[in-house]
Structure 1
Amino acid sequence: MTIWRPDPLALYRPAYLSLAEQYARAIRDGQLPAGSRLPPQRKLADDLGLSVQTVSRAYEDLIRRGLVVGEVGRGSFVLPAGSENSPPYLAERPGGLVDLSILKPVTGRMHVDIFREGLHWVAENLTAPAALSFRPNSVLPQHRRVAADWLRRGGLDVAPDCITLTDGATSAITTAVMSAVPPGGTLAAAALTHHLLMPLCKYLGLHLEGLPVDHDGIVPEALDHLARKGSLRALYMQPSAINPMAIMTSLDRRAELVQIARRHDLLIIENDMLNTLIQDRPPPMAVLAPERVLHIQGFTKTTLPGLRIGWLVSPSRLAPIAANRHLVTNWMATPAMVELLSHWISDGTVDRLMSWQRDALRERHAIAREVLGSAPFHAHPQSLHVWLELPPGRDEEEFVAQARQRGVAVASGRAFRLDERGRRDAVRIALGSTGAEDLRRGLRLVVETLGSNAEPVLTLV
């Protein structure tokens, strides 16, 4: 049997993407079946006349696409067709387990009661177009105006027609990425980013590049260097504490990144899901560069999870494109929920829920500081989580498994990582996914796991 090899004559610049594409086609065509071992990077580099760094980047790209897995000490292997990225949270919560793996706002019985009252209001006040129309423009203009008024409070002065109403952040992110990056194009993001961005880009056939971060967010020089290569179309950002490390990017850093985006004519996708929950945050990227920022806001993380409505604000030149992308993927946001959100904004319920959330998060962060003590973690006073760095030599996957055996679930850093360069193993710990006492108990179990020996988890079969 002939073993497939890439063709050096078919390589083009950038060489790493060209090489990755050859492997991707061979995997899709069945020339490299599941389990096939890719050549060692140095040998392949010598065979093709490339640098080891180029081959390494190609392999990293294949890993990000979910086509290949790298195993330390063994090499890189083709994954079975249909292999998917694992979510950072538990799909189901077994009884007795403290689940700190899924990112949620703090909630209580009060939120269920408020939601029920809101649904009663919708039942009594639902308009005929909201119940019967298939035409978004027959249902949503009034609600776009409510959205525009809310956004203006945060410094964003936008025309209602530039707002796409979506069923939450995931729909808005999908629409924004499809609007900003053409098929085969390149999107950049922080090396630690939204866990759904990787599978989304894989499904859309986009190249996703990780950028290093420091204490203030994405490193500008890295963005400028990547943009100079010429294939980058857009930058995805989470500058306001919703990112894995809960970093609040400063105004100066935001302005510097905007300057680079303008120099290279890049679009920016800004995920600002916590929006006005965070007091005294710097102006959004969309305020600094309204001509090139697609800005995303939502309410599931700031009020209550069932309020699944988001807003995508686009520059006027991109608004029709975003509207069309949303039509083919979602058609329109659920009218009844849009009615409820507009009502809650108008009567002050959203403001009250956000104020309550700030107070609740203040208590949760106090618990985290008390229990975690001197353990190295990153947080923002109004973030929904903390990012706990593990001691050198502790593997995050093994740590997650050991913590689960003790009775607490946390999220592995692997789910958020685009780039292995400068890797520091860590876990994300959600503060709002359970009650205060369970949070305290779960954090104590995390501390116990930190203090235990790093032994492999054994599975009995």
Structure 2
Amino acid sequence: MTIWRPDPAALHRPAYLSLAEQYARAIRDGLVAAGAQLPPHRKLADEMGLSVQTVSRAYEELIRRGLVAGEVGRGSFVLPAGAENAPPYLSERLGGLIDLSILKPVTTQMHVETFRKGLHWVAENLTASAALSFRPNSVLPQHLQVAAKWLRRTGIDVAAENIILTDGATSAITTAVMTAVPAGATLAAASLTHHLLMPLCKYLGIHLEGLPVDDEGIIPEALDHVARKGNLYALYTQPSAVNPMAIVSGAERRVELTEICRRHDILIIENDILNTMIDDRPPPLAVLAPERVLHINGFTKTTLPGLRVAWLVAPPRIALAAANRHLVTNWMATPAMVELLSHWINDGTVTRLISWQRDALRERHQIARECLGTATFRAHPQSLHVWLELPPGRNEEDFVAQARQRGVAIASGRAFRLDDRNRRDAVRIALGSTSADDLRRGLSFVSETLEGAVETPLPLIG
């Protein structure tokens, strides 16, 4: 029996897509039968004169189209026509509850396969020092160069020795706050901010001052007013859509904030983990005031949640202080994850995943607009969530409980609010944490809750 093989002469750019198309046609035409196993990546790469990576991308495309299934340890197999395949979007379900409370990027089976292949590459290429050493400086210097190169793409020109590799943005935030603000001093932040900032400051004995915001983010005059009172050591800001209201601060607002911080000699902690996702983004604050900005850039929200690596860029005068504080709280970033991130940056995987995420979020925001209709909500085209503002008379805690009774979990505005000045009750709804179908269903439940009678759920006790 003749075994069908793709034709190398028929390939055109991009090669992975051309190869996937040849297989797709052959599967549709019956030349490759259901249940047939595709050749191993390396074998087909040799036959076609392609790289293993190109073949892997072609197989990922076939999986995405529902034509092929990948089985760990066995290989890739052609699915029967009309077979029930796993849903393309990985769903977060808690006992039937649609969970829209956790901020995550959109993920598919492609992300799982990409992660598996990446970990396999790490297993084959991890150096002995990365696997066995306890000394951060001897393990990770080459990765700092990759980080510096990536950061330059965002406009930040930084020496590798001023970058700290951490196990995700939360670790970087902890290190930055400990570096910038001593116990008993004040840290200022938007009145709606990162939900972990409040407990972190409480544990460290730091006073957290909420600042009012407008459509551009933190109001400069409010920052100046707090700075004049004294004891303000740093400003924490999330200027690029990861903040609860999904605001992207404009270039002029960023300049105003950095000038005030210069005038009062205040450090800035810039959580900019969505920076590379934002179209036409203004320069990071670290570009405007590199001498005083601790800049955080991570990848779990733009690529996939398992890639828990973030970079903390520290000004030279406090870089050693930041490194020391990271040492006592985290010691070092996980070498295997840092190795994987560096590899993916070098081979273009990170760029492709970010581009894919941008496209996927476009669809998710369209679903939100369709389901929420005339409701008042804030969003940005590249944000991972929408901020739904409730009508007067609706309480956010009650609304969250009512939505949960309908089968959908959302996050109360209280989790992000530093104080009740100028309060408007609201909820955060994550767009990437479940499948497109479940998102549509969950948002429909939210919309029904919004239109329903104002009721407080009774406690279910006997």
TM-score (norm. length: structure 1): 0.80
Aligned twin of 2:273 = 273
Map Cα deviations across residues 332-374 of structure 1 (whole Å, 9 max, x no partner): 0000100000000000000000010000000000110111111
Aligned twin of 1:167 = 167
1:243 aligns with 2:243: yes
Aligned twin of 1:401 = 401
Aligned twin of 1:434 = 434
Cα distance in 1, alignment partners of residues 145 and 94 from structure 2: 44
Number of equivalences:
370
Cα distance in 2, alignment partners of residues 156 and 148 from structure 1: 8
Q: Residue 119 of structure 1 aligns to which amino acid in structure 2?
A: L
Aligned twin of 1:103 = 103
Q: Residue 96 of structure 2 aligns to which amino acid in structure 1?
A: G
Q: Secondary structure at the match of 2:94?
A: coil
Cα distance in 1, alignment partners of residues 110 and 183 from structure 2: 45
Aligned-residue Cα RMSD (Å) equals 0.7
Aligned twin of 1:209 = 209
Q: Residue 335 of structure 1 aligns to which amino acid in structure 2?
A: P
Q: Secondary structure at the match of 1:177?
A: helix
Aligned twin of 1:179 = 179
- Equivalent residue runs for 1:318-397 within 5 Å: 318-397=318-397
Cα distance in 1, alignment partners of residues 211 and 275 from structure 2: 23
Q: Residue 345 of structure 2 aligns to which amino acid in structure 1?
A: I
Aligned twin of 1:294 = 294
Q: Residue 430 of structure 1 aligns to which amino acid in structure 2?
A: A
Cα distance in 2, alignment partners of residues 421 and 450 from structure 1: 24
Structure ID, larger Rg: 2
- Equivalent residue runs for 1:85-164 within 5 Å: 94-164=94-164
Aligned twin of 2:412 = 412
Cα distance in 2, alignment partners of residues 107 and 278 from structure 1: 18
Q: Residue 420 of structure 1 aligns to which amino acid in structure 2?
A: D
Aligned twin of 1:229 = 229
* Identity across the alignment (%): 79
Q: Residue 129 of structure 1 aligns to which amino acid in structure 2?
A: S
Map Cα deviations across residues 37-84 of structure 1 (whole Å, 9 max, x no partner): xxxxxxxxxxxxxxxxxxxxxxxxxxxxxxxxxxxxxxxxxxxxxxxx
Q: Residue 447 of structure 2 aligns to which amino acid in structure 1?
A: V
Aligned twin of 1:65 = none
Cα distance in 2, alignment partners of residues 264 and 293 from structure 1: 14
CA shift at 1:398, angstroms? 0.2
Cα distance in 1, alignment partners of residues 277 and 163 from structure 2: 20
Q: Residue 114 of structure 1 aligns to which amino acid in structure 2?
A: T
Cα distance in 1, alignment partners of residues 263 and 114 from structure 2: 48
Unaligned stretches of 5+ in structure 2?
1-91
Map Cα deviations across residues 109-148 of structure 1 (whole Å, 9 max, x no partner): 0000000000000000001110011000101110000000
Q: Residue 117 of structure 1 aligns to which amino acid in structure 2?
A: K
Cα distance in 2, alignment partners of residues 407 and 263 from structure 1: 51
Aligned twin of 2:260 = 260
CA shift at 1:260, angstroms? 0.4
Map Cα deviations across residues 176-219 of structure 1 (whole Å, 9 max, x no partner): 00000011110000000000000000000100000000010000
CA shift at 1:279, angstroms? 2.0
Q: Secondary structure at the match of 1:317?
A: helix
Q: Residue 255 of structure 2 aligns to which amino acid in structure 1?
A: A
Cα distance in 1, alignment partners of residues 420 and 98 from structure 2: 29
Contact 1:187-1:209 at 8 Å conserved across structures: yes
Aligned twin of 1:40 = none
Q: Residue 456 of structure 2 aligns to which amino acid in structure 1?
A: P
CA shift at 1:390, angstroms? 0.2
Aligned twin of 1:305 = 305
Q: Residue 439 of structure 2 aligns to which amino acid in structure 1?
A: L
Contact 1:126-1:339 at 8 Å conserved across structures: yes
Cα distance in 2, alignment partners of residues 398 and 411 from structure 1: 12
Contact 1:211-1:419 at 8 Å conserved across structures: no
CA shift at 1:94, angstroms? 2.7
Cα distance in 1, alignment partners of residues 396 and 435 from structure 2: 25
Unaligned stretches of 5+ in structure 1?
1-91
CA shift at 1:419, angstroms? 1.5
Cα distance in 2, alignment partners of residues 299 and 381 from structure 1: 18
Cα distance in 2, alignment partners of residues 172 and 235 from structure 1: 15
Contact 1:271-1:295 at 8 Å conserved across structures: yes
CA shift at 1:93, angstroms? 5.1
Cα distance in 1, alignment partners of residues 378 and 359 from structure 2: 20
Q: Secondary structure at the match of 2:209?
A: strand
CA shift at 1:231, angstroms? 1.1
Cα distance in 2, alignment partners of residues 211 and 358 from structure 1: 30
Cα distance in 1, alignment partners of residues 107 and 403 from structure 2: 24
Cα distance in 2, alignment partners of residues 98 and 336 from structure 1: 33
Q: Secondary structure at the match of 2:364?
A: helix
Q: Residue 155 of structure 2 aligns to which amino acid in structure 1?
A: G
Contact 1:101-1:411 at 8 Å conserved across structures: yes
Contact 1:394-1:425 at 8 Å conserved across structures: yes
Contact 1:379-1:385 at 8 Å conserved across structures: yes
Cα distance in 2, alignment partners of residues 279 and 157 from structure 1: 20
Cα distance in 2, alignment partners of residues 348 and 94 from structure 1: 35
CA shift at 1:280, angstroms? 1.1
Cα distance in 1, alignment partners of residues 93 and 447 from structure 2: 21
Map Cα deviations across residues 414-449 of structure 1 (whole Å, 9 max, x no partner): 000001100000000000000001000000000000
Q: Residue 322 of structure 1 aligns to which amino acid in structure 2?
A: A
CA shift at 1:264, angstroms? 0.4
Cα distance in 2, alignment partners of residues 196 and 372 from structure 1: 28
Q: Residue 228 of structure 1 aligns to which amino acid in structure 2?
A: R
Cα distance in 2, alignment partners of residues 112 and 455 from structure 1: 42
Aligned twin of 1:28 = none
Cα distance in 2, alignment partners of residues 270 and 428 from structure 1: 21
Q: Secondary structure at the match of 2:254?
A: helix
Q: Residue 261 of structure 2 aligns to which amino acid in structure 1?
A: A
Q: Residue 272 of structure 2 aligns to which amino acid in structure 1?
A: D
Find runs of 4+ consecutive structure 1 residues off by over 4 angstroms: none
Cα distance in 2, alignment partners of residues 103 and 430 from structure 1: 5
